[in-house]
Amino acid sequence: MNAYDFSPLFRTAIGFDRLTRLLDTARAAEGGNGYPPYNIEKTGEDTYVLTMAVAGFAEDDLEITARENTLTVAGKAPPAEEGRSFLHRGIAGRAFERRFVLADHIVVQGARLANGLLHVALKREVPEALKPRRIAVQVGPAPQAPRPVLASTETAAQEPPRAAA
């Protein structure tokens, strides 16, 4: 079965249409060529490291872009060197582009290239406004609802006419 029917979910939930796009993107990514290989490691409660094997690529050959919950890592193929003849070529030096879907509030903290491995540090940073907060409970009489302030024209219209003295 290649398709999922989410229509029952859409009858009662609002804003989950992004979920179907996420699943379609993940399914399409599975069919990729597997180059370059990578690991995704959870290093803490809210921290992750994406490690990609990019042997033969210099830092100028790599481009990392984070945009709208998508992390893209691309590598430009190094220029072919004239006069080199390989009997066996097992180290791939071809261009690539890998896309990763990021959850909400995941930000890229930085990237480091060491020993042919590209390490991209990621962290979940939930804004203070979205974090749960505790509301203090006070003891005492219930607060009164504020009375609406009437404009001067409304006040004059509602006052009874005064008797002439």
pLDDT digits (tens, 9 = 90+) for 57-101: 999 999 999 998 899 999 998 777 788 888 888 877 789 999 998
pTM: 0.63
Average pLDDT over residues 12-20: 68
Task: Say yes or no to pLDDT of 43 above 80.
Answer: yes
| Inter-residue contact 122 to 109 (CB < 8 Å) | yes
| Inter-residue contact 37 to 52 (CB < 8 Å) | yes
CA distances from 57 to 2, 115, 122 (A): 36, 10, 22
- CB half-sphere exposure, 20, CA atoms < 13 A: 14
Query: What kind of fold does domain 35-78+91-131 have according to CATH?
Result: Immunoglobulin-like (2.60.40)
Regarding predicted confidence, which is higher, 165 or 107?
Answer: 107
Domain ranges of the chain: 1-31, 35-78+91-131
Q: How far apart are CA 36 and CA 97, in angstroms?
A: 9
